[in-house]
A = this chain, B = another copy of it.
Amino acid sequence: MLTATAFAALNPAPPLDLRFPNYEPQTPLLPGNLSDSPNTFIDNALHGRIVPLDHLDPANVLGDASAPARAWQAAAWRNERVHAQFVVWSSVEITQLRLAASPLRAPNGAEIPASALNARFVRYVWASFARPRLHIPGRAVADILDTATELDLPASGFRPIWLTVNVPENTPPGVYRGALTVTGQGRRSVQFPLSLEVLPATLPAPNRWAFFLDLWQHPWAAARYHNVTPFSPEHYALLEPLYRELANAGQKVITTTITDRPWNQQTFDAYGSMVKRTRHANGSWSFDYTLFDTYVAFAQRCGLGPQIHCYTMVPWGNRFQYNDSATGDSVVAELKAGTPEYEAYWAPFLADFQKHLAEKGLLEQTHIALDERSPEELRASVAVLKKHAPCLKIAMAGNKSPSAYAGVTIDNYSNVISHVEDNNAAFFSEIAPRRAAGAVTTFYVCTTPTRPNTFTNSPGAESVWLGFYAAAHHFDGLLRWAYAHWPREPLWDSSFRPDTWPPGDTFLVYPGPRSSVRWELLRDGIEEFEKIRLLRQAAAAPVLTELEAALAAFTYNKAIKQTDNELAETVARARAAVESATRATNFCPSE
C-alpha cells in the first residue's frame, strides 16, 4: 500500500492564481529609512500593529513605529457596527496572507460568534485628481474593503486589515475577548488581541433610524459595469446586495427618473427614463409605467424608501424625449420651464402620473425632484406641477435657505454645506419649524467642498464628521449625489474625469458589492447621530450639556480651517463624549 506522503511537493509552490480582481495598483512600500528601524522591520517575520480608522499610506502607516501595539480595545452599543484597523508588514515577501477571527467571549461564557466578525483585506485603488489649483498627485489609496480571502504581501509592502464586529442585539453587556490572526505561507503569523465592551444601550435596526439618508442610486452604472441588459433579471440580481447594503445604512429615498438624462451626462453612464411617453397622432399622450413600478417595488423589497424622488421636471439641458406613435420615432424637444410649450408637454403627464401613483398607493411619498436649479426654474416648474398634480411633493438640492425660494414649499430640501452657515447660519433656524410642518431638511456634500468630504483621498475622520455635524445642528440628515455611479473601472481607478471630479466623488461602495473605508466611516457617523438622538431623549441634563459642548465644535467654518489632525481630534472628542454620556445614562429597555 502506498503511503499518502509518497510524493514531493514543489517548494516554493508557484501558486495557481485564480483570485479576482487580479489587478491592483502596486502595493505601496514602507518608508525607505527602515534600515534604521527596530529589527521588527528587517527580520523575515510577519509583523503587525493597530492603526487608526483612516486611509493608510506610507506617511501614516507606521505611527509610533518604535512601540507597535497590537491590542484592540473598544466599547460599542448592541446593534452597532464597530471597526478596528490593523496593518501587517514584513521585510520579505510573504505569500498567501489569510485572516481568521475567533469568537469573542465574556468571562461568564457569553459569546459574540465568529460569524459576527468580518475581517477584510483593504485593497488599494488609484485616486487621481488633476484639478490644477489643488495639486493633488495621483496615488494608490487603501480604500476597498475587499472580498479576497487570500493576498500576497510583497517585500517591504504593508497591507491594512479592517475588522468589523456586528454586535448582535441580544448580546448581554460585558467585556468580550478574542483574537484576529493573520497568517502567511510557511506558518508566519501575527495575532491581534481583541477586547470589546458591550454597553447596556441598543441602537435600533437601520430601518428604524431617524437619520434621513439620501444617496442617489444609478442602476444603469451597475448594468454597464456588469455587462448586463438594464432591468433584466440578471441586473436585478446584481443590484440587490448593493441596495440591501444601502438600506442597512437607513436610506430613505428611492431615486427614480421620469425623463431621459435628467443630468444630461455628468457621469460615466447616462440615466434613462423609467417612464416611456408616447404622443399620438391626435395630440393625446399615453405613458408606460411598467419599468417605474417594477423598479420601485424592487427597491422597496430591498428596504429602500419610503420616499420616492422623481428626476426631474427641469433636466440639465432642457431636452425631453418621447415616442411619436404616428411614425414610431423617438423625438426630442427642447423646452424651458415657464413657457407655454413646457406646460403643454408636462400637463398630460402630471395628471396621469398623480392618478397612477394614487392607484398604486404611492402618492403620499412621491416627490418631483430638482437638482441645483434656479429659483426661477423652480417656481416655473412648480407652478405647472401644482396646477396639474397638486398632491405631488417637491424635493430640491440648492445653495440657499428654503425661505429664499419664496412662494414654494419645498417638502424635502437639501442645502450644500458650503452655504449652510451663510448669514450667521440663519438657515439653522428654519430646520425645526419645517420639521414641525412635516418637511425634511438636510445638507449635502458633493464635488465640493474639498473638506470635509468622502473622497477616496479624504481623511477618514471627515466621513464620521458629517454625522456629528448633522446631530450638532439638528438636521434631519444628509444627501450625497452618488452611492454607486461607478466610473469605468472603479476597482482599479476611483477617479472620474480627474480634471473636474475629486477621486471617489461618484461612488461610496465598490462593485461586489465591496465596502470601503469611506462607506463604513460615513455609516459610523450616522450611528453616532442615532446614539445622540437617543441620548437627547434619555440622558440627564448635565450629561447632555457636556455632550452638546463637544458637538458645538462641529461647524463648517471651523472644519475648513482645521488640519487633518485637528479635525480627527474633534471627531475623537465627540466620540468620547457620546461614550461617556452613554455610560452615564440609564436607557429604558428597548421594545
Interface positions of A (Cβ within 8 A of B): 2-10, 13-18, 20-21, 96, 98, 147, 150, 183, 185-187, 220, 223-230, 233-234, 237-238, 241, 260-261, 270, 272, 279, 283-285, 319, 321, 324, 327-335, 340-345, 347-348, 511-512
Which residues on the B side are within 8 Å of A17 (C-beta)? Answer: 270
**Chain B: which residue is nearest A22 at the CB level?**
B224
Cα-based distance from A260 to B183 in the complex (angstroms): 23
In the complex formed, the residue of B with least CB distance to A241 is B234
Q: Which residues of B contact A241 (CB under 8 A)?
A: 234
**Would B226 and A96 count as touching, CB distance under 8 A?**
no
Q: Are B229 and A3 in contact (CB under 8 A)?
A: no
How far is it, in angstroms, between the C-alpha of A8 and the C-alpha of B332 when the chains are bound?
9
Q: Mostly helix, strand, loop or mixed at chain A's interface?
A: loop
Q: Is the CB of B238 within 8 A of A10?
A: no
Minimum C-beta distance from A396 to chain B (A): 23
Of B238, B261, B283, B333, which one neighbours A228 at CB under 8 angstroms?
A: B238
Q: Give A225 Cβ to nearest chain B Cβ, in Å.
A: 6
The residue on B at minimum CB distance from A10 is B332
Decide: A283 and B229 in contact? CB cutoff 8 A: no
Known: A16-B270, A183-B328, A230-B20. A333 touches B284 (CB 8 A): no
Docked-complex contact A7 and B260, CB < 8 angstroms: no
In the complex the two chains form, what is the Cα distance from A321 to B18 in whole Å?
A: 12
* A227-B21 Cα distance, complex, nearest whole Å: 8
Docked Cα-Cα span, A102 to B170, in Å, equals 62
Alpha-carbon separation in the docked complex, A321 to B333 (Å): 62
Cβ A345 vs Cβ B13 within 8 A: no
Contact assessment for B185 and A96 in the assembled complex, using a CB-CB cutoff below 8 Å: no
Find out whether the CB atom of B341 lies under 8 angstroms from the CB atom of A16. no
A485 to chain B: closest CB distance in Å?
Answer: 15
Chain B's closest residue to A225 (CB) is: B227
Cross-chain contact A13 with B330 (CB below 8 angstroms): yes
The reply to whether B226 and A226 contact each other, CB–CB distance below 8 Å, is: yes
Given contacts A20-B229, A98-B328, A327-B186, contact A333 B8 (CB under 8 A): yes
User: CA of A148 to CA of B308 in the docked complex: distance in angstroms?
Assistant: 30
- Which one, B98, B237, B341, contacts A234 given CB within 8 A? B237
- Are A223 and B20 in contact (CB-based, < 8 A)? yes
Closest B residue, CB atoms, query A280: B4
- CB of A296, distance to nearest CB on chain B (Å): 20
Q: With A and B bound together, what is the CA distance between A21 and B13 in angstroms?
A: 42
Residue ID in chain B nearest A264 by CB atoms? B16
Determine whether the beta carbon of A13 is less than 8 Å from that of B332. Answer: yes
Which residues from chain B contact A321 at a C-beta distance below 8 Å? Answer: 13, 15-16
Can you list 22 A-B contacts (CB < 8 A)? A3-B344, A4-B284, A4-B344, A4-B347, A4-B348, A6-B344, A7-B333, A7-B341, A9-B324, A9-B333, A10-B333, A13-B321, A14-B332, A15-B330, A16-B319, A17-B270, A147-B229, A183-B328, A187-B327, A225-B227, A226-B227, A227-B227
A342 with B16: CB separation less than 8 A: no
A16-B332 CB under 8 A given contacts A186-B327, A342-B7: yes
In the complex, the chain B residue whose C-beta lies closest to that of A220 is: B18
- Select which of B3, B20, B183, B261 is within 8 A of A16 by beta carbon: B261
Bound CA span A18–B223, Å: 12
Q: Least Cβ distance of A30 to chain B in Å?
A: 24
Please give, as numbers and ranges, the residues of chain B lying within 8 Å of A345 by CB-CB distance. Answer: 7
In the assembly, what is the distance between CA of A14 and CA of B591, in Å? 58
Complexed CA–CA distance, A307 and B42 (Å): 56
Q: Which residues of B contact A228 (CB under 8 A)?
A: 226, 238
Q: Closest 5 A-B residue pairs measured CB to CB? A: A7-B341, A237-B237, A6-B344, A4-B283, A13-B332
A98 and B323 CA atoms in complex are apart in Å by 13
In contact, A18 and B98 (Cβ under 8 angstroms)? no
A333 to B8, CA, bound (A): 6
Q: How far, in Å, is A295 (CB) from chain B's closest CB?
A: 15
Chain B's closest residue to A259 (CB) is: B16
Q: Which residue of B lies closest to A345 (CB)?
A: B7
* Residues in chain B near residue A341, CB distance under 8 A: 6-8
Residues of B within 8 A of A8 (CB): 333, 341
A8-B333, A20-B223, A98-B328 known; A344 vs B13 contact (CB < 8 Å)? no
Determine how close the nearest CB of chain B comes to the CB of A298; give it in whole angstroms.
14
Residue numbers in B under 8 Å from A233 (CB-CB): 237
Taking A4-B347, A6-B341 as given, write out 5 further A-B residue pairs in contact, using a Cβ cutoff of 8 Å, ordered by the A residue number.
Answer: A4-B283, A6-B340, A13-B329, A18-B220, A226-B226
Which residues of B sit under 8 angstroms from A328, Cβ to Cβ?
96, 98, 183
